[in-house]
Amino acid sequence: MAVPVKQNLTITRGDTESLVVNMTAGSTPINIAGRSYRAQIRETKDSGVIAASFSCSVTDAAQGQVTCTLSAGSTAVLLPQSYYWDFEEDNAGVISTILAGTVTVLADVTR
């Protein structure tokens, strides 16, 4: 059983935020064709309410690249506080949490 890699994020409320994840084995890219990915933010790890969901898409399967984006509308409703997030892979029904950590949301001024 693999332990997710700790990856803390800092985002600004009301901004579009993107995260590029490169899937590798050591320094060698993993071909991720046919796999899907998702990431969510919640106030607590066990919360039944999703605070925000990333839109994740494979941007270069052969090079193992996934891009996850939070829209400005999704971040606009977040309070300036700490949350939890994780990033999961679905490989033919085998679900693996790849990254996990906290999300610090910074307050914005211009709205």
What structural domains does the chain harbor?
Answer: 5-106 (2.60.40.10)
pLDDT band at residue 1 under the 50/70/90 scheme = low
Query: Bridge-partner residues for 12, per DSSP?
Result: 106
Q: 4-29: per-residue pLDDT in tens?
A: 999 999 999 999 999 999 999 999 99
Q: 96-109: per-residue pLDDT in tens?
A: 999 999 999 999 99
What is d(CA 11, CA 47) in angstroms, rounded to the nearest whole number? 20
What is d(CA 87, CA 96) in angstroms, rounded to the nearest whole number? 9
Q: 33-63: per-residue pLDDT in tens?
A: 999 999 999 999 999 999 999 999 999 999 9
